[in-house]
Structure formats: C-alpha cells, structure tokens
Structure 1
Amino acid sequence: MRPTVHDIAAAAGVSLATVDRVLNRRPGVKAATRARVEAAISDIGYERDMAAANLAKGRVYSFLFILPSGDNSFMRGLEARVREAMQRAAVDRVAISLVTVPPFDPAALAEALDAAEQARPAGVAVVAVDAPEVEAAALRLKDAGVPLVTLVSDLPAHCRSHFAGIDNIAAGRTAGGLMRRFIGPGRGRVAVLAGSMRVIDHRERLEGFRAAMGEAGHEILPVLEAQDDPAEAERLVGALLSQSREISGIYSLGAGNRGLIAALRGQPSFRPRAVIAHELTAHTRLALEAGLIDAVLNQDAGHEVRSAIRVLKARADGVAVIEAQERIRIDIFLKDNLPFAEGEAEAPARSPDAA
C-alpha cells in the first residue's frame, strides 16, 4: 500500500499540519523537526501525489527530456517512463517534450542543449555525456536561466541544478563487495565491461568497484568498451573468455548486457565464478533465472523521471527541494528475490533444479 501523509506524521511524531508545511516548503517548522519529517519521508518511501499537489495551480510547466537513442533496454525503459509522464501531462500541469540523440555523441547532445536554450522551456532533463562541448552547452543553458537536471548519468555539479540518479560510487563499491564474496579468497582476475568511459556514471562505478576489489588484492583487467552495442559486447567478452580460463568474475558497468549474456551462453564449458550487472531488464532477469548472472544492481527509472519533474518544478518556482524524497536507492536482485515481472500475478512454478 502506498504510504500517505498520515504515515509520515505517525513516523515523525508530528501533526499533519507540520507534514504539510514541510512538503510545501513553507516556514514555521524548526530545523530539527523538518529533518525528522524528511527522514520519515525517506524511511517509508513516500512519493508525493503530483496530481493532487498541482490541482490548484494554474501554471503549466514546459519540460524537455533529452535521452539517447538506440536499443539500450534500460534507456528504452526510461523513455517509456517519460512517455507515461507525458500521458499524465494535463493532470500534472506539465507539457513534456522528448528528444533523442545518438548515444555517446557529445556534439549531438550539445546541439540539442543549444536548441533548448533557444526554446527556453521551464526546465531540461538530460542523460549526460561528460565532454567539454556538453559542459559548455549546459553552462549556456544555465546562464539563460533554464534549470538542468542530469538523469542517470551526471555532469560536474557546477553545470547542472540537480542529479536524479543513484550514488554510482556506492553502486560500484556494492558490486565490488558482492564480487569479493562470490569469487571467494585468493587473487582473482576480474573483467569489466562498459558502454563508454565518457559517461560519469560508468567512471564512478569503476572507481568504487576498484576501491572495493583492491582491498582484497584482486586484479582488475583493462575496461572493455562496447558503446552499448550488444554485438560488440558479445565479441569483446567472447574473445576474452576464449583466450583465458583465469577470469574469476565479470562486472558489467552499464548496457551491453545482451551481448554479455550471449557471450556467456557461447562458452558453455567455462563460466566465471561471478557475473554482476546493472539494471533489471527482461534480458538480465532471464539471465539471473538461468544462473548466467549472479546479481543485478538496479535503479528505479520511474522514480528518476518523477524526481526530475519534481526538481524542475521546484527550480522553476524558486523553492527548495526535499532531498530525502529525491534520493534514488540502489536495489540488489539475486535469482532468489526477483520481483514479479510486469503482468505476472504470482511467481511461476519451477522445479528446484530448473535453470
């Protein structure tokens, strides 16, 4: 059942009026009380009903989302969440437009940001590529007074208003901790698959992963960059596995998981002791169930899109953001705790030794 303001009030030990003041960023609440309410919001996972919150407002907010094109499963899921928000536009009093650009293409992304500067929407949300031309375009947008929220993949903090995504260094450390446990004692050789090291989220995940794995003395091999291309990911991982039987683990920093899975299926006589990936999609779910992947770290794309919209509204109105509400959690899925797939009423029956 979805948490309500009554649950917040009970958890924080305050009145509904105090909860309302905090949610609507009104004065008259002591700092300690406000912190207690915001902690309760975070602990119970409350997300505000934007339709009800905006019912009395006459303003329509024009927001632009810029996403990478291509067949990256997670990005297409993110796009689906944006389109769901577009369908709620009239109720939420927003007008959302969507633009896609080629993945990992700084010039195309900078051009899209410059076009946004000319259009002057109330705010922009973008899956960023960290490159000088993109940073320059983001700063031009900022100078024009248009709030910018980075989504999933970040830019340096001075270039944007807010980041709607997980703590990627923490995600990498989490993956490293799991990898150490899965592969066990002894010095192991661990492969890393990335889309591109031009995106901050992949670099930060690798930083956290290296820190956690370094504590155990494992060797991290040079990163394989597949540019989110499943065929290239399959080729790179397949070549690595065919050349060496000393690979203890594989960590996939982002997309390309279909290629990774295909490469693992193509080496039935050898499997690393641990394979860890990001994002629960139809492909990684099946791989978890089949035992090809051991753990998946996931971020809630829907929460990120809703968070971006809330933050852009707050920036457009010049009010504070409730940080606890916008914190995106890291979920860890194993074969044993997979949530039901969309449309699944109950867990499908399987024999105990089914793959």
Structure 2
Amino acid sequence: MGIDGLRMTLVDVAREAGVSLATVDRVLNGRPGVRGPTVTRVKAAIEKLGYRPDPIASRLAHGGSFRFCFILPTGTNTFMTNLGDAVTEAASLIAGQRAFIDIRQTDVFDPDALATALEGIESHYHGVSVVALDHPRVRAAIDDLVGRGVAVATLVSDVPTSRRQWYVGIDHTAAGRTAGTLMGRFAGARSGPVGVIAGSLSLRDHVERQFGFGQVVGDEYPALRILPTRVGRDDRERTRVAAQAILAEHPDLVGIYNIGAGNQGIADALEEAGRTREVILIGHDLTVHTRRLLLLGVMDAIINQDPGHQARSAARLLLAHCTGEPIVAAQERIRIDIFLRDNLP
C-alpha cells in the first residue's frame, strides 16, 4: 500500500521506477528485453509502493476466464431447490469477473451416479462444488479431480477424508446436538420414545446430526428413549410412511427429529393420526413449507443453514483459489440458526 492507503497501479510503479508501462508489464510477467538494472529498479518500486497485481484485471486484459461446475441433487427437496436458486444468483455475481458457473443435477443418494457425474467433469472446468456422499467411489472421484488440478469444494455434506480443498456448510454434529437440547427442553417432564428419520445414513451430514442428537439426549435427557433411525431419502411420501410406522408402533411417542427433508410428510402423518399438537417435531431448513408448519404449530423448531451464504461462499472459494486472492475465513463460516414461530424472519 502507498502512503495515502490507496491501491497502487502499474502506472504508479512505472512513474516511481522512471520507466514505461510496457517495461513494468514485461518485468512482472518475466518476459525478456529488459536490462538487469532496470529490472532491479522496477522491483524496488514495486516493493516501495506495496504494489499487488490485480488477478481479475490481468485476466480481463488477457481475455481469460474461469468455469466452475456445481453438482446438486435431483428431487423435490425444497432446501436443495433453494440452494440451486442461490447458486444461480451466485453465478450472476461472479460473471462480471469472467468466472462462470454451470449447474448439473444427479441422484446424490446413489454413489455410482454421483461418482459418474464427478468422473465426467470435462477438462475446461477449473473448479467443482458438490453436495457429496461419503463413499469410497465418490472419494476417489474427488481425489482424481484434485489430482487433475481441479479445485473441489464439498457443499452441505462433506467427504473429509478426500483431497477436497474446502467444506462449505454448518457443523452438523453441533446442529444435531442443538436438536437434542431443544427436544429435551420441549419434552420437559415427559418420558418415552423419540423417533428419528434421516434422508440417508450414507450422507455424512445426516450421520453427524444423528450422532450429535444421540449424544445430548442420551447424556442429558435419560427419560427420553431414541428409537432406531428410519430412512426417508428426503422424499415427502417415504418420510410420511416412516412417520406413520413410528406413530403406529409407539402410542406414547414424545417427539420426532427429522434429520433431512420431507417435513410435510411427517406433518401429514401426524394429522392423520390426530397427534399434531401432542408430538414434538423438530427439523431442519427454513423453507416456505417449514415456515408454514411452524406458524401452524405443527413444527416446534427449525435448525437452519443459509443456502445463499453457502452458494456464495463456495463460488468465492473456488474463484479465490484460481486467482490467488486471500480467503477471509470468518466470512466463509456458515452459522447455525434456530427458528421458532416467534422469531421467523
């Protein structure tokens, strides 16, 4: 930085060194045709002024661009639909920096389908962000991409043993623990079973939420008994069937913790059983559907992660990796929000 705190430009460097702009450009890019003493003078000017090249301006000048691919789930999961919309918005934000995003969808619950999508990433992509499944074949596909020089950011759900550069999402164990605390607090003096429904136990985020929930309920609320986890694949109808079975088998059910999507299916099952006000329902992600369920008193609490923040963060991280720009870690931390009917935004 210069004395007045403004960002220095090549013009400032050329003026300080007493050379032409073209000479400064040659020195910066290591091109021949500049005498040794002149190179030394230019470098001294750069050092004195604290000049730092602007990678975006440089790329624009040379007609370069970056292209990223976001791999998102298929299906009717409203949160994932919102995430897709947020990625589209993030794409418009970075387009002015000649960085472009393509969106592809696949069944992320199917490791072969997801791995095939990752293996099919073409060579013109500089980075990939993927809602990932923690599976050996998916891990190998991510490692292969990184080995080819493609930056990878896992999104929402992680594969921490892979070579991916970043995970963009909340701390899911903490989210599960939060759900456990809320369930225990809402239950009060009641005792009995609590149902758990996950989208898939192959998704690391769902496994970590289940683990955190079990930790808190098991340690701090012994009057509550956690039932074996059922799987609904984030599908409304499958989740409804899972909830129906839990309700039929446990007339003394205290609550249901829905780890994934499909909350409307659980709401349908509770209404059919006439137990809407009796059974505590805690789930994830604020959407138009879960907002309505909170307002109606069907759901008691929602643990939220901001899809817009996650999409923008993944785009920023991939772009920063390609340009060499610094990353502000605090800006990229995805926080956990808790919403009740009383504090809805």
The TM-score by the shorter chain falls in which range? Answer: 0.7 to 0.9
5+ residue gaps, structure 1, are 1-15, 21-51, 340-355
Q: 1:123–1:186: structure 2 CA closer, same or farther, 3 Å change rule?
A: same
Residue identity matched to 1:105: D
How many pairs are equivalent?
293
- Give the one of 216, 226, 229 matched to 1:223: 229
Could you tell me how far 1:159 is from its partner in structure 2? Answer: 2.8
- Give the one of 239, 244, 263 matched to 2:245: 239
Bigger Rg over Cα? 2
Partner of 2:210: 206
- Give the one of 84, 91, 108 matched to 1:86: 91
Residue identity matched to 2:171: D
Could you tell me how far 1:79 is from its partner in structure 2? Answer: 0.6
> How far, CA to CA, are the matches of 1:191 and 1:64 in structure 2?
37
> How far, CA to CA, are the matches of 2:266 and 2:309 in structure 1?
27
- Which secondary structure does the structure 1 equivalent of 2:105 belong to? strand
Could you tell me how far 1:262 is from its partner in structure 2? Answer: 1.3
- Give the one of 267, 272, 297 matched to 1:266: 272
- Which secondary structure does the structure 2 equivalent of 1:82 belong to? helix
> 2:211 matched to 1:168?
no
> 2:141 matched to 1:137?
yes
How much identity, in percent, do the aligned residues show? 44
Could you tell me how far 1:243 is from its partner in structure 2? Answer: 2.7
Partner of 1:113: 118
- Give the one of 276, 282, 290 matched to 1:276: 282
Q: How does 1:1-355 map to 2 (within 5 A)?
A: 58=60, 59-116=64-121, 118-185=122-189, 187-215=191-219, 216-217=221-222, 218-269=224-275, 271-339=277-345
TM-score, normalised relative to structure 2:
0.79
Q: Deviations over 1:95-119 (max 9, x none)?
A: 1111100230111111111111x42
Q: Deviations over 1:10-40 (max 9, x none)?
A: xxxxxx959x9xxxxxxxxxxxxxxxxxxxx
Partner of 1:8: none
Q: 1:280–1:56: structure 2 CA closer, same or farther, 3 Å change rule?
A: farther
TM-score, normalised relative to structure 1:
0.77
Could you tell me how far 1:170 is from its partner in structure 2? Answer: 0.7
5+ residue gaps, structure 2, are 8-53
> How far, CA to CA, are the matches of 1:180 and 1:230 in structure 2?
26
Q: Deviations over 1:74-108 (max 9, x none)?
A: 00110111122233453242111111002301111
> How far, CA to CA, are the matches of 1:270 and 1:325 in structure 2?
39
> How far, CA to CA, are the matches of 1:334 and 1:307 in structure 2?
26
Q: 1:303–1:55: structure 2 CA closer, same or farther, 3 Å change rule?
A: farther
Residue identity matched to 2:160: P
> How far, CA to CA, are the matches of 2:188 and 2:5 in structure 1?
53
Could you tell me how far 1:187 is from its partner in structure 2? Answer: 3.7
Q: 1:55–1:249: structure 2 CA closer, same or farther, 3 Å change rule?
A: farther
Residue identity matched to 2:86: R
Q: In 2, are the aligned partners of 1:55 and 1:91 still within 8 Å (CA)?
A: no
Could you tell me how far 1:156 is from its partner in structure 2? Answer: 1.7
Q: In 2, are the aligned partners of 1:123 and 1:148 still within 8 Å (CA)?
A: yes
Residue identity matched to 2:120: A
> How far, CA to CA, are the matches of 1:201 and 1:223 in structure 2?
14
CA RMSD of aligned residues (A): 2.4
> How far, CA to CA, are the matches of 1:279 and 1:70 in structure 2?
16
> How far, CA to CA, are the matches of 1:74 and 1:278 in structure 2?
9
Q: 1:142–1:114: structure 2 CA closer, same or farther, 3 Å change rule?
A: same
> How far, CA to CA, are the matches of 2:270 and 2:225 in structure 1?
21
Q: In 1, are the aligned partners of 2:108 and 2:131 still within 8 Å (CA)?
A: no
Residue identity matched to 1:181: R
> How far, CA to CA, are the matches of 1:133 and 1:159 in structure 2?
13
> How far, CA to CA, are the matches of 2:131 and 2:152 in structure 1?
11
> How far, CA to CA, are the matches of 1:148 and 1:167 in structure 2?
19
Q: 1:336–1:55: structure 2 CA closer, same or farther, 3 Å change rule?
A: farther
Could you tell me how far 1:203 is from its partner in structure 2? Answer: 0.4
> How far, CA to CA, are the matches of 1:211 and 1:174 in structure 2?
10
